[in-house]
Amino acid sequence: MTLSLYDVSIPVFSRALQNMSAFLEKARTWADETGLEHDEILNSSLYPDTPSLIGQVQSACDAARLTAVRVAATEPLDIPATDNTFDDLEARIVRTLGYLDAVPRDAMDGREDMKVVLTRPEHEVTFTTREYMLSFALPNFFFHVAMAFAVLRHNGVPVSKPDFISGRYTE
């Protein structure tokens, strides 16, 4: 069986975003139970020069959407970075999941050797779609999901590996 670009991205992103939604809800509940202000968690980061929890969630959602745009040539969905609350982050995740759900499998599959160019302020990087997916898109996405999780752990939220992995792998 061939593993397709769609198989290694859209369902993987969707599952991780659903898991992230669940651990954010766990954080909200924990904050309410302990009396911690939501802003303390939402605006917390692991280090002063790294994005806050809000920024990590935004980046994870953006990474998933931009992968679909770059690989499947889907119409971009702009979600402004105006999130300030757990509800805002949940709405962002829901919109991203809806966007990913609409990506047709055939828009991605068979495009493994297409070129993807990432433009950075200091240079451009050209990948085949396969290289882009495996060496940039997936690691970048999971970096931001993991950093969001780490910010919660850093703040004492009782999340653990099963919350990150979730689903049938922990049953």
- Cβ atoms 42, 85 nearer than 8 A: yes
pTM confidence score:
0.94
Q: Round to whole Å and give the CA distance between 127 and 114.
A: 8
- For the chain, list residues with pLDDT below 70: 1, 167-171
Q: Helix-strand-coil percent breakdown of the chain, rounded to 5?
A: 60, 5, 35
3-state secondary structure of 155: coil
Q: Round to whole Å and give the CA distance between 53 and 43.
A: 6
- Note the pLDDT of residue 1: 63
93 C-beta neighbours (distance < 10 Å), count? 19
- Note the pLDDT of residue 61: 98
- Note the pLDDT of residue 112: 86
Closest by CA position to 148, among listed 26, 1, 8: 26
Q: Quick one: 10-170 is in which CATH superfamily?
A: dinb family like domain (1.20.120.450)
- Note the pLDDT of residue 2: 80
